[in-house]
Amino acid sequence: MEQAKIIEDFPRYDPILIAKLQSTLALEYFIQQQFEQSDAIYNELLAYPERLDALNKPGLFFNYLSNLVNLERYQAVIDFYQAQQAVWEQGTTALYRVHYFLCWAHMGLGNYEAAQDILLLQDLQNRPRYEEFYARTLLSMVYYHLGELIMAERETYNLMQNHRYKLSPEETHYEHLCHIHQFYVLMGQVPNQKRREKLEQLLLQIQTLFDEQQAAASP
């Protein structure tokens, strides 16, 4: 990364090359969970919009929004989405995925009805299976926060059944889905010492899985 910064500051390099380098560097910082450093580079990139036309603009903007979500800058996610409407309208897949970031942002702000509305702007079933899987998992979380526990549990149960009978090819998030479903089931039980112990055990399992996945993602 230090070498990359030196190249970035060297005046004889083309501005487009510098923009591509910055984009790669910002993503590397994101992968290493150095979100503030990543955000600083994204802000430098966005300050020169004329350099962005040679880049994969939707991909770059997705990464930027993802970084903002990790920084819990939820209003910034919503503001940036609204400012870049023309980019999101380039294709339905782009629109689906930016809506996921918007959903996270609205949930982070406690606007659960708005989070539900943004997910349901397009039919959840009229999209690729892996997109449907992720969208309905998010929808289950929205239901939970709206106090609709039965609906939340039903969404995750149906997704697990789809996976079991190979109706969905989704593998990446399946283990996470199982933990989410288990949480909903436990929350539907009578509060007592046994339920508390099971919730603590579930939290430990989730934290262990998260740590393992982070270690595997690190260079």
Q: With left for phi above 0 and alpha for psi between -120 and 50, is residue 218 left, alpha or beta?
A: beta
What is the tens place of the pLDDT at every residue in 18-27?
888 899 999 9
Which one, of 126, 65, 72, lies nearest residue 97 by Cα?
65
| Mean pLDDT value across residues 95-121 | 93
* Residue 92 banded pLDDT, cuts 50, 70, 90: low
| pLDDT at residue 219, as a whole number | 45
Burial 41-59 (b: 16+ CB within 10 A, else e): bbeebeeeeebbeebebbe
* pTM score of the predicted model: 0.84
SS3 assignment for 150-218 = HHHHHHHHHHHHHHHCCCCCCCCCHHHHHHHHHHHHHHCCCCCHHHHHHHHHHHHHHHHHHHHHHHHHC
Per the model's pLDDT, the better-predicted residue between 206 and 128 turns out to be 206
What is the tens place of the pLDDT at every residue in 116-153?
999 998 888 887 778 888 899 999 999 999 999 999 99
Q: State how far the Cα of 63 lies from the Cα of 74, in Å rounded to an integer.
A: 14
